[in-house]
Amino acid sequence: MAMSPLAGAIEFLKDFGFYDVVLPFLLVFTIVFGVLEKTKLFGTEDKKPKKNINAMLAFVIALFFVASTELVAGARELLPNVVVLLITLMSFMMLVGFFYADKEFSFENNTFWKVSLTIIFFIGIVLLSMHAFVPDILEGLGSFWTSTTGVTIMFMAIIVATIFFVTKSKSSGGD
């Protein structure tokens, strides 16, 4: 079967190193530069962040990042999984919106869902990061959580969390 021109272009970019060097460099540079601009870590000139220092530092950090093939490989494994996590979140939000079609539902006004989903997705991203960058740790943890001790700890945590949510009192305005 003949390769389409678009598939050929993707293959050319892969052979060129676009996915191993250029995209990781741009991603790390953009994130570091954005964080430095937002935090104004190196001070300001005329109430604006020092772009030249921020850009140079972001450039150097991005070059160090792409120089480490292990970090680039970990990022290439992590990012698609994070996207799957985001798609899962969006699917959940669409499902909730479907059930609340006749009412207004907002995660801003519903702290339980906002906090619960934040915790769940934070744990998911931490586990995905551990799997991408230090997979040996997760293999050891996986065997622990499937052991009798691990299952007992999970079961007790679920019981404690359930008791906490059932027995916690709603705060009234007068208290």
- Residue 58 phi, psi dihedral angles, 5° rounding: -60, -40
DSSP string, 115-127: HHHHHHHHHHHHH
Q: Does 155 have pLDDT greater than 60?
A: yes
Instruction: Single out the residue of 118, 99, 98 nearest to residue 107, CA to CA.
Output: 118
Q: Which domain holds residue 40?
A: 1-67
Lowest mean pLDDT among 62-66, 106-110, 135-139, 161-165: 135-139
Q: Does 63 have pLDDT greater than 90?
A: yes
Between CA 139 and CA 134 the distance in angstroms is 9
Residues 6+ apart with CB under 8 A from 147: none
Tens digit of each residue's pLDDT (9 = 90 or more) over 14-49:
898 898 899 999 999 999 999 999 998 888 888 888
The chain-wide mean pLDDT, for the chain, equals 83
Residue 57: pLDDT band (50, 70, 90) is very high
Asked whether residue 46 is domain-assigned, the answer is yes
Residues 6+ apart with CB under 8 A from 153: none
Asked whether residue 8 is domain-assigned, the answer is yes
In the structure encoding, which two tokens stand for residue 113, read together? 């869902």
Residue with the larger pLDDT of the pair 11 and 166: 11
Instruction: Note the residue count of the chain.
Output: 175
Asked whether residue 120 is domain-assigned, the answer is no
Q: Does pTM surpass 0.75?
A: no
Asked whether residue 164 is domain-assigned, the answer is no
Structurally, how many domains does the chain consist of? 1
Predicted local distance difference test score (pLDDT) of residue 38: 92
* CB-based burial label for 77 (10 Å; 0-12, 13-18, 19+): middle
Asked whether residue 122 is domain-assigned, the answer is no
Predicted local distance difference test score (pLDDT) of residue 169: 60
Asked whether residue 25 is domain-assigned, the answer is yes
Predicted local distance difference test score (pLDDT) of residue 175: 45
Predicted local distance difference test score (pLDDT) of residue 174: 47
Asked whether residue 143 is domain-assigned, the answer is no
Asked whether residue 29 is domain-assigned, the answer is yes
Amino acid identity of residue 96, one-letter, is V
